[in-house]
């Protein structure tokens, strides 16, 4: 039997699990990313490869050794960064370790071929359509829960209430597999978050988060920066998400919009999510945000390339910027200290103004 696994990517594992289970596969999600899984990834990854690569390798190895996974699926990109050969390099490492586990690296060009090799087209068109639609609805609900948590956390009176509601409904969402029940669940989610007691007079800072997609999405990698910022009294906003990756693939004019937005500062893509970072920071400046946090893997070439541009925009638009380079050496306490100092700086700036 095919046992599919995939790398952790924040709360989106709920979506991947639903998609492949509804297509008839046995799904074994990886254990939650931890220090142990990172150590496994580091042990078998090139020393100077980026942090996301090492985390993904650790996820794969744990899933194979502890859960018996025999097939891996991952998302690829068509950018100019090293992620183009992530899948091939990871497959070679797994082969060298003696694991007979195929890795399917999906991108916009090879999706049909990968789906065919996985045997998905043995299902009826109706079953495929239903599986994709349920996965899409779950994706939208995952992002709704995240959006509501970012909005409520800096306003909540009882600290921790938002986190409990978020965890509860993510768990319910994971177990819900009916379109009718998903529609009902959406109403329950909205009601549950609206019932959280908040301080209506509180005016949180508005902080935009930009950077490399995997780092933004995987909570272990970014050390729960959204939770830390929320507890410090800041409302977090993220534009780089799984839904935007899908819509940018299906609606290429949206990518064109980002290119036009960034053009005064950046006239080429530079690969990865570098152009997105520039465009989104300009959007946040236009919308009057109080600050921007830039998250990137240590040594990531696209994000390193655009960092001077982001600094220039910060100075010209008077928009505070905190850039964090993350790897296995990044300590949670150190990141929290920098975020606290950043928020204090913004509050001091607003007080003087």
pLDDT digits (tens, 9 = 90+) for 16-39: 999 999 999 999 999 999 989 999
pLDDT of residue 4: 93
- Distance of alpha carbon 68 from alpha carbon 200, whole angstroms: 50
Contact status, residue 210 vs residue 239, Cβ threshold 8 Å: yes
Contact status, residue 20 vs residue 42, Cβ threshold 8 Å: no
| Percentage of residues of the chain with pLDDT beyond 90 | 66
pTM of the model: 0.92
- Category of 292 on φ-ψ map: left (φ > 0), alpha (ψ -120 to 50) or beta: beta
Using 50, 70 and 90 to split pLDDT, how confident is the model at 250? low
| Percentage of residues of the chain with pLDDT beyond 70 | 95
pLDDT of residue 81: 63
Going by C-alpha positions, the residue among 154, 226, 142 that lies closest to residue 189 is: 142
pLDDT of residue 281: 96
Q: How confident is the model over 110-114, as a mean pLDDT?
A: 73
Q: How confident is the model over 251-277, as a mean pLDDT?
A: 83
- Does residue 79 have a pLDDT over 90? no
Q: Which tokens in the block code for residue 88?
A: 């091939």
């Amino acid at each position: 039997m095919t046992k599919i696994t995939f790398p952790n990517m924040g709360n989106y594992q709920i979506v991947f699990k639903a998609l492949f289970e509804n297509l008839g596969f046995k799904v074994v999600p990886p254990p939650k990313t931890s220090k142990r899984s990172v150590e496994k990834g580091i042990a078998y990854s090139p020393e100077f490869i980026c942090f996301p690569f090492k985390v993904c390798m650790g996820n794969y190895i744990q899933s194979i050794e502890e859960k018996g996974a025999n097939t891996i699926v991952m998302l690829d990109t068509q950018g100019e960064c090293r992620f183009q050969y992530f899948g091939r390099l990871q497959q070679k490492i797994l082969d060298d370790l003696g694991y007979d586990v195929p890795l399917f690296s999906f991108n916009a060009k090879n999706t049909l071929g990968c789906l065919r090799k996985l045997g998905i087209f043995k299902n009826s068109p109706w079953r495929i359509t239903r599986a994709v639609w349920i996965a899409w609805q779950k994706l939208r609900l995952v992002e709704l829960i995240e959006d509501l948590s970012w909005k409520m956390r800096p306003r909540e009176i009882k600290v921790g209430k938002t986190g409990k509601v978020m965890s509860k409904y993510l768990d319910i969402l994971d177990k819900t597999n009916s379109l009718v029940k998903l529609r009902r669940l959406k109403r329950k989610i909205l009601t549950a978050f609206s019932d959280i007691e908040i301080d209506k007079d509180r005016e949180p800072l508005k902080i935009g988060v930009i950077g490399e997609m995997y780092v933004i999405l995987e909570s272990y990698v970014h050390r729960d920066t959204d939770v830390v910022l929320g507890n410090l009294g800041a409302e977090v906003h993220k534009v780089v998400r799984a839904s935007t990756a899908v819509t940018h693939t299906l609606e290429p004019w949206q990518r064109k919009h980002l290119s036009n937005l960034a053009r005064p500062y950046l006239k080429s893509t530079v690969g990865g999510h570098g152009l997105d970072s520039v465009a989104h920071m300009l959007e946040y400046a236009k919308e009057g945000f109080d600050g921007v946090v830039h998250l990137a893997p240590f040594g990531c070439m696209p994000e390193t390339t655009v960092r001077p541009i982001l600094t220039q925009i910060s100075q010209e638009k008077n928009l505070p910027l905190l850039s964090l380079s993350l790897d296995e050496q990044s300590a949670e306490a150190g990141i929290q200290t920098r975020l606290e100092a950043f928020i204090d700086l913004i509050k001091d700036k607003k007080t003087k103004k």
